């Protein structure tokens, strides 16, 4: 089966000459239909640059990105743009504060021409209900919603566009642990029901362990390790992965044991 | 052991358009000398306002009404004048905020801001002497090219670097109490782990007591000696860290712990929404009460 998304030797360089920044270097990986691939790494490792290239915010410097068996052009068609959607870290700043949340969701429907014009408010309400919010929330501004509710709206907005691949850029880092648990559960359920694929960007490895099928570990723009989630946690091949797992704050004793068995230690 | 900080029956109300709303309903907690105490809870539970009250910052707000006993090293804070209180801040009590980059002033260099901090205890300190002391302090937080850092603006440094600068500043005047409000949350895991390890070593060495505010139970487990769990303006459980983690007694504490994803796997946590049990009376573990 062809993977939904594949990257082949993708690089991105900002600037040129001696001061050029090589944000992403020679990265290749696939994301299958319905799969959740976690992209982990510290700040500055190129995770977000990667997301921006997949989304088409800017083009790659070299290499190819394939979507659904076809090469993705740097200038995306409407179809590509609606199929690949983004959920950002901070929902309060990713939603327009002057628009009702319903208008924010509807904007995508209008731009991509989804559904009949007269039918679109109903689609917006359906999308809200799908993420566990009452349909009449569409009239509210983001400021009248809690952080967790806003993140649900951001998810609804991504889904309403009939997306097939959702890039989740630290979707729960700004949320409390109880709210995080609910949003993660929602994302899992939606993936199963709708057969979505996720690229889940995060630095929280305990979240990764529980939601991802495979993990891609980034460091300084390079893909240093890519494997099944279980393999990454039980038998990491690279020291850096061990360090990342070693840095996760844990609550249970068996987690402590696992962490100590890897004994990467905190990097100096 | 004597208490560095004691908070007794603290109530906080805010005056709003729709009348008074009570935010803290009688919170009592204490921090002993050299002890690391964590205050854990979700957003909106009243963690940060408690810290601000201890610093005397909320009392200055006309819309806030604060009641209850506040004692710092045996002294009644409520009886201090504004000036006396101001003199305590940054010298005997200091604070580290969540986002290091925004808690530093963007238009002054680190050196200038460091000198300002050091002059709070020693007003006649020359800039040269201040830079020298700042240099040694930065060494202690593993910043070795301190000349560059002192000449830099906060935006020229990384988040982790800024956080170390803030920690060095907070401990510069040898405070007896350090309040740390989610000091690692804005950083990524590796940097957070480094920062916490560093803070741990420093407070151990200097014998500073810490009131550590967090929503991350994993971090709390690694850092704190004692834990207070706060929910909707009430302390629901308190006790030594091992006791709380081995045997969480309160429904809310159990829910918090269940919600943390585990690195050993096991899938996403099941949440049962028995929120009425969250309002059960406080659970106190042995050794938790002074």
Task: Report the sign of the C-alpha dihedral through residues B176, B108, A46, A34, in that order.
Answer: positive
Q: For chain B, what are the domain ranges?
A: 93-172
Q: Are A112 and A161 in contact (CB under 8 A)?
A: yes
The reported pTM is 0.84
A-B Cβ pairs (cutoff 8 Å, strict): 123
Quick one: which of A203, A109, A217 has its CA closest to A156? Answer: A109
Longest dimension (CA), chain B: 60
CATH of the domain at A69: 3.40.50.300
**d(C-alpha B280, C-alpha B284), whole Å:** 12
Task: List the pLDDT tens digit at each of the 290 positions of chain B.
Answer: 588 999 999 999 998 888 888 899 999 999 999 999 999 988 888 888 999 899 888 888 889 999 999 999 989 999 988 889 889 998 999 999 888 888 899 999 999 999 999 999 889 999 999 999 999 999 988 888 889 999 999 999 888 889 889 999 999 999 999 999 888 776 777 788 888 888 888 888 888 999 999 888 888 998 999 999 999 999 999 999 999 999 998 999 998 888 888 888 777 777 766 677 787 888 888 764 44
What pairs with residue B180 in β-bridges?
A: B96, B212
Residues A224 and A257 in one domain: no
Are B218 and A209 within 8 A, CB to CB?
no
Which residue from A minimizes the CA distance to B160?
A43
**pLDDT given for residue A31 in this prediction:** 96
Q: Does B265 touch chain A (CB under 8 A)?
A: yes
Residues A158 and A253 in one domain: no
Residues A223 and A177 in one domain: yes
Quote the ipTM score. Answer: 0.77
Quick one: which of B199, B231, B202, B203 has its CA closest to B215? Answer: B231
Residues A254 and A140 in one domain: no
What pairs with residue B93 in β-bridges?
A: B89, B177
Residues A118 and A250 in one domain: no
**d(C-alpha A115, C-alpha B220), whole Å:** 49
Are A251 and B217 within 8 A, CB to CB?
yes
Helix ranges (DSSP H) in A99-166? 101-112, 120-130, 147-160
> Residue B57 class from Cβ within 10 Å (0-12 exposed, 13-18 middle, 19+ buried)?
middle
Nearest Cα of chain A lies from the Cα of B126 at a distance, in angstroms, of 33
**pLDDT given for residue B287 in this prediction:** 65
**pLDDT given for residue B235 in this prediction:** 94
How many alpha carbons fall within 13 Å on the CB side of residue A166? 25
Residues A56 and A120 in one domain: yes
**d(C-alpha B280, C-alpha B37), whole Å:** 23
Residues A222 and A249 in one domain: no
Are B268 and A147 within 8 A, CB to CB?
no
Q: For A32-186, list the strands marked E by DSSP.
A: 36-40, 62-67, 70-71, 84-87, 165-169
**Partner residue facing A255 (CB), from B189, B215, B263:** B263
**Partner residue facing A177 (CB), from B187, B256, B266:** B256
Please give the backbone phi and psi of residue A53, each rounded to the nearest 5 degrees, phi first: -70, -40
**d(C-alpha B180, C-alpha B173), whole Å:** 16
Run of H or E including B162: helix B159-172
CA A89, A90, A95: angle at the middle one, nearest 5?
A: 115
Residues of B (150-169) whose Cβ lies below 8 Å from A: 158-159
Are A210 and B216 within 8 A, CB to CB?
no
Q: Which two tokens stand for residue A204?
A: 């929280």
Please give the backbone phi and psi of residue B264, each rounded to the nearest 5 degrees, phi first: -85, 0
Average pLDDT score over residue span A219-231: 93
Average pLDDT, chain A: 90
Residues on chain B touching A147 (C-beta within 8 angstroms) = 43
Residues on chain A touching B236 (C-beta within 8 angstroms) = none
Q: Which two tokens stand for residue B211?
A: 């009131």
**d(C-alpha A89, C-alpha A109), whole Å:** 22
**d(C-alpha B23, C-alpha B11), whole Å:** 7
Reported as a single tens digit per residue, the pLDDT across A65-123 is 999 999 998 889 999 999 999 999 888 888 999 999 999 999 999 999 998 999 999 99
Q: Does B144 touch chain A (CB under 8 A)?
A: no
- CB proximity list for B246: less than 8 A, separation 6 or greater: none
Residues on chain B touching A188 (C-beta within 8 angstroms) = 268
**pLDDT given for residue A265 in this prediction:** 52
Which residue from B minimizes the CA distance to A268?
B194
Are B218 and A244 within 8 A, CB to CB?
no
Number of Cβ atoms within 10 Å of the Cβ of A14? 13
Please give the backbone phi and psi of residue B224, each rounded to the nearest 5 degrees, phi first: -95, 150
**d(C-alpha B255, C-alpha A91), whole Å:** 24
- CB proximity list for B19: less than 8 A, separation 6 or greater: none
Residues A248 and A131 in one domain: no
Q: Are B163 and B138 in contact (CB under 8 A)?
A: no
Q: Provide the domain count of chain A.
A: 2
Q: Which two tokens stand for residue B137?
A: 């302090």
Give the relative orientation of helices A253-262 and A239-246 as an angle to the nearest 10 degrees: 150
Q: Is A221 helix (H, G, I), strand (E, B) or coil?
A: coil
Which domain, by its residues, includes A260?
242-268
Nearest Cα of chain B lies from the Cα of A28 at a distance, in angstroms, of 24
Quick one: which of A191, A251, A257, A246 has its CA closest to A38? Answer: A191
Q: What percent of chain A has pLDDT over 70?
A: 98
Are A42 and B265 within 8 A, CB to CB?
no
Residues on chain A touching B248 (C-beta within 8 angstroms) = none
Q: Which residue has the tokens 């490792």?
A: A45
Residues A39 and A117 in one domain: yes
**pLDDT given for residue B273 in this prediction:** 63
Are B218 and A258 within 8 A, CB to CB?
no
Q: How confident is the model at residue A151 (pLDDT cuts 50, 70, 90)?
A: very high
Residues on chain B touching A184 (C-beta within 8 angstroms) = 261, 268
Which residue from B minimizes the CA distance to A180?
B259
Reported as a single tens digit per residue, the pLDDT across A128-144 is 999 999 999 999 999 99
Residues A184 and A262 in one domain: no
Q: Are A35 and A214 in contact (CB under 8 A)?
A: yes
**pLDDT given for residue B61 in this prediction:** 87
**pLDDT given for residue B261 in this prediction:** 86
**d(C-alpha B87, C-alpha B92), whole Å:** 8
Quick one: which of A265, A210, A250 has its CA closest to B245? Answer: A250
Residues A31 and A66 in one domain: yes
Residues A92 and A134 in one domain: yes
Q: Which of A229, A241, A249, A252 to mutate to probe the B interface, most B CBs <10 Å?
A: A249
Quick one: which of B170, B135, B169, B133 has its CA closest to B150? Answer: B135
**d(C-alpha B201, C-alpha B242), whole Å:** 20
Q: Are A35 and A188 in contact (CB under 8 A)?
A: no
- CB proximity list for A251: less than 8 A, separation 6 or greater: B217, B218, B221, B245, B257, B260, B262
Q: Are A179 and A138 in contact (CB under 8 A)?
A: no
């Amino acid at each position: 089966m062809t993977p939904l998304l594949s990257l082949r030797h993708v690089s991105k360089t900002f600037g040129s000459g001696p001061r050029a920044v090589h944000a992403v270097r020679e990265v290749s990986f696939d994301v299958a239909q319905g799969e959740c691939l976690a992209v982990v790494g510290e700040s500055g490792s190129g995770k977000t640059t990667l997301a921006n290239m997949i989304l088409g915010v800017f083009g790659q410097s070299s290499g190819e990105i394939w979507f659904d068996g076809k090469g993705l052009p740097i200038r995306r068609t409407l179809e590509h743009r609606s199929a690949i959607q983004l959920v950002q870290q901070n929902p309060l700043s990713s939603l327009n504060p002057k628009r009702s949340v319903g208008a924010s969701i509807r904007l995508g429907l209008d731009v991509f021409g989804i559904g009949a014009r007269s039918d679109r408010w109903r689609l917006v309400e359906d999308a809200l209900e799908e993420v566990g919010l009452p349909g009449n929330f569409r009239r509210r501004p983001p400021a009248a919603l809690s952080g967790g509710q806003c993140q649900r709206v951001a998810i609804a907005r991504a889904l309403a566009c009939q997306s097939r691949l959702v890039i989740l850029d630290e979707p729960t880092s700004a949320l409390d642990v109880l709210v995080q648990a609910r949003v993660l559960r929602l994302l899992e359920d939606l993936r199963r029901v709708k057969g979505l694929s996720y690229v889940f960007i995060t630095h929280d490895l305990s979240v990764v362990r529980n939601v991802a099928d495979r993990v891609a570990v980034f460091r300084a723009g390079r893909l240093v390790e890519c494997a099944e989630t279980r393999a990454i946690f039980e038998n990491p091949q690279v020291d850096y992965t061990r360090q990342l797992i070693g840095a996760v704050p844990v609550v249970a004793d068996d987690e402590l044991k696992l962490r100590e068995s890897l004994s990467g230690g905190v990097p100096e | 052991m004597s208490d560095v900080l004691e908070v007794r029956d603290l109530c906080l109300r805010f005056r709003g358009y729709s009348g008074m709303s009570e935010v803290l309903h009688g919170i009592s907690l204490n921090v002993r000398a050299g002890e690391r105490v964590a205050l854990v809870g979700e957003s909106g539970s009243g963690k940060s306002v408690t810290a601000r009250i201890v610093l005397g910052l909320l009392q200055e707000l006309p819309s806030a009404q604060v009641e209850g006993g506040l004692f710092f090293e045996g002294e009644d804070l409520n009886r201090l004048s504004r000036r006396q209180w101001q003199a305590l801040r940054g010298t005997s009590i200091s604070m580290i905020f969540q986002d290091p980059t925004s808690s530093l002033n963007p238009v002054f260099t680190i050196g200038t801001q460091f000198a300002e901090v050091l002059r709070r205890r020693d007003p006649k300190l020359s800039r040269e002497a201040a830079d020298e002391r700042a240099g040694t302090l930065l060494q202690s937080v593993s910043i070795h090219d301190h000349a560059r850092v002192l000449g830099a603006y906060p935006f020229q440094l990384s988040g982790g670097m800024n956080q170390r600068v803030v920690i060095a500043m907070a401990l510069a005047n040898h405070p007896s109490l350090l309040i740390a409000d989610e000091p690692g949350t804005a950083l990524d895991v590796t940097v957070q782990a480094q920062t916490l390890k560093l803070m741990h070593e420093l407070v151990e060495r200097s014998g500073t007591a810490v009131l550590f505010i967090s929503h991350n139970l994993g971090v709390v487990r690694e850092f704190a000696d004692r834990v207070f769990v706060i929910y909707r303006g009430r302390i629901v459980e308190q006790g030594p860290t091992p006791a709380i983690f081995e045997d969480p007694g309160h429904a809310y504490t159990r829910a918090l712990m269940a919600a943390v994803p585990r690195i050993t796997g096991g899938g996403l946590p099941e949440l049962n929404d028995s929120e009425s049990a969250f309002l059960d009376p406080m659970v106190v573990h042995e050794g938790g009460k002074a």
